[in-house]
Chains A and B, each alone.
Chain A
Amino acid sequence: MKTFIARSLFLFSLSVAVLVAACDSDVPPTEKSQPSQPADLAPPARFNGATPGVFRPSASAFALLKTLKLEPGHDTVVFGHSGEIPVAGDWDGSGSTRVGVYQPNDRTFRLLVGARPGSPVTIVKFGAIGDLPLAGDWDGNGTATAGVYRPSDSTFHLRNGNGADEKEIVIKFGEKGDLPIAGDWDGNKSWTIGVYRPGTNTFFLRNSNVAGQPDLTVKLGLLRIFQFPAIGTETA
């Protein structure tokens, strides 16, 4: 049973850990889209150009949607290996998000600094066994750097540079079972931490990278509650 829960939680953690979307605030509600009708999806303008993508371990590649609609399709970037966890960030201040992967076995980030395979790769050895990878522009300087969340003691470990001797910012936030997330929640250019609590389908977000009470609490719709337990069923 323990193994089952751990496995389910691990798979689930990979799925929500880094998922954030740039979005204008105070947008009016729109009609819900129907998954079976891609043409009816909401227009992309509201999300400031950020779109979803997936890392497909079986193909060792990323599939990155061009817009929030399934047409005109996606771009493929061959990068990463099975067993690795995807990350994404603007590694060089280009204004575009690039992909990267984290290899849990040797606790190493490999960040693709460019749009295509063959671009330079920045290697960052960082983290401990069991850590979950993050990336974000923690100091608001225009470039994203690595971070990890350590579930064993609910601490974030953030670095503002990718050098081996870079100082770590350590922040205790969240509780057992929480999954990490990061983003620029208040639009001040600095990315800050947050956690997702699967049991209550709730995000708790900080607007600064210091310990404290959540600045924002976001509980997603009831529908989602019934989706996530299904993940456990699948991996049983």
Chain B
Amino acid sequence: MTVGVYSPSKSLFTLHSSNATAGSDTVIPFGTFGDKPVIGKWNLN
């Protein structure tokens, strides 16, 4: 697992590709004002 952050002001997830400073970021815009982030393997279907 690797770290990431969520920016509430932009409703933007930034998922880092490694647990080192070096690495790439995957940026995913999702959510709306007031949302709070979670992450997981949901497998709802």
Give the CA-CA distance A87 to B40 in the complex, in Å. Answer: 10
Within 8 Å by CB of A23, from B2, B21, B40, B45, lies: B2
Distance (whole angstroms) from the CB of A166 to the closest CB of chain B: 23
**A152 / chain B contacts, CB cutoff of 8 Å:** none
**B26 / chain A contacts, CB cutoff of 8 Å:** 30, 33, 41-42, 46-47, 68
Looking at the complex, which of A123-131, A155-163, A228-236 is the stretch in contact with chain B?
A: A228-236
Most chain A CB inside 10 Å of its own CB: which residue of B2, B20, B27:
B2
Q: Contact size class for B?
A: 35 or more
The count of chain A contact residues (Cβ–Cβ below 8 Å) is 83
Contact between B30 and A54, CB atoms less than 8 A apart: yes
Looking at the complex, which of A103-111, A168-176, A216-224 is the stretch in contact with chain B?
A: A216-224
Distance (whole angstroms) from the CB of A105 to the closest CB of chain B: 16
Q: Which residue on B lies nearest to A185, using beta carbons?
A: B19
Q: Which residue on B lies nearest to A37, using beta carbons?
A: B29
Give the CA-CA distance A30 to B12 in the complex, in Å. Answer: 18
With A53-B39, A230-B9 as contacts: A33 and B3 at CB distance below 8 Å:
no
Q: Please report which residues of chain A, range 53-78, place their CB below 8 angstroms from some CB of chain B when the two chains form the complex.
A: 53-58, 62-66, 68, 70, 74-75, 77
Tell me if A210 counts as interface (CB < 8 A to partner B).
no
**B1 / chain A contacts, CB cutoff of 8 Å:** 20-23, 50, 183-185, 187
**A55 / chain B contacts, CB cutoff of 8 Å:** 35-38
Within 8 Å by CB of A224, from B8, B14, B18, lies: B14
Name the prevailing secondary structure of the A interface residues.
mixed
Q: Which residue on B lies nearest to A58, using beta carbons?
A: B34
Contact between B5 and A18, CB atoms less than 8 A apart: no
Within 8 Å by CB of A183, from B3, B6, B29, B32, lies: B3
Residues in A lying within 8 Å of B, measured CB to CB: 11-12, 14-16, 18-23, 25-30, 32-36, 38, 41-42, 46-58, 62-66, 68, 70, 74-75, 77, 85-90, 95-99, 115-116, 181, 183-185, 187, 194, 196, 203, 205, 216-221, 224, 227-228, 230-231, 233-234
Listed by A's residue number, 19 A-B pairs whose Cβ atoms lie within 8 Å are A19-B4, A19-B37, A21-B15, A25-B18, A35-B27, A41-B28, A48-B41, A50-B39, A52-B38, A54-B36, A54-B38, A56-B32, A63-B30, A85-B36, A97-B39, A99-B38, A187-B1, A216-B19, A228-B7
